[in-house]
């Protein structure tokens, strides 16, 4: 082997190792970001589920007939549908 082929092989090996390290670190950083975003979305979903349950509970306790909504919901002729 001559000196130029050894240098070429070393340069090729270092390039491949550098690219592998770059993509490994990039993938690790993306996984960390994804995990944080997934946690944020899970918390938001939990909050929304709690809000839905609260609203559903409020609707279940609301008695439409007792508050006489038939009189409140009158036809309004000025609204064109």
Query: In this structure, is residue 78 part of a structural domain?
Result: no
Of 72 and 77, more confident: 77
Query: In this structure, is residue 68 part of a structural domain?
Result: yes
* Confidence category of residue 64, pLDDT binned at 50, 70, 90: low
pTM: 0.58
* Maximum Cα–Cα distance across the chain: 99
Structural domain that includes position 23: 3-72
Query: In this structure, is residue 81 part of a structural domain?
Result: no
Query: In this structure, is residue 24 part of a structural domain?
Result: yes
18-50 tens-digit pLDDT? 999 999 999 999 999 999 999 999 999 999 999
The rounded distance, in Å, linking the Cα atoms of 51 and 57 is 10
Secondary structure of 12-47 as H, E, C letters: HHHHHHHHHHHHHHHHHHHHHHHHHHHHHHHHHHHH
Q: What percent of the chain lies above the pLDDT cut of 70?
A: 83
The rounded distance, in Å, linking the Cα atoms of 26 and 20 is 10
Query: In this structure, is residue 47 part of a structural domain?
Result: yes
Query: In this structure, is residue 38 part of a structural domain?
Result: yes
Q: How many domains does the chain have?
A: 1
Q: What are the structure tokens assigned to 11, written together?
A: 């340069």
């Amino acid at each position: 082997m001559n000196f130029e082929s050894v240098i070429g092989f070393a340069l090729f090996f270092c390039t491949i190792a550098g690219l592998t390290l770059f993509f490994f670190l990039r993938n690790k950083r993306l996984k960390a970001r994804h995990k944080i975003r997934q946690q944020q979305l899970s918390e938001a979903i939990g909050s929304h589920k709690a809000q839905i349950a609260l609203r559903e509970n409020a609707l279940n306790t609301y008695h439409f007939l007792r508050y006489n909504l038939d009189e409140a919901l009158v036809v309004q002729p000025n609204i064109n549908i």
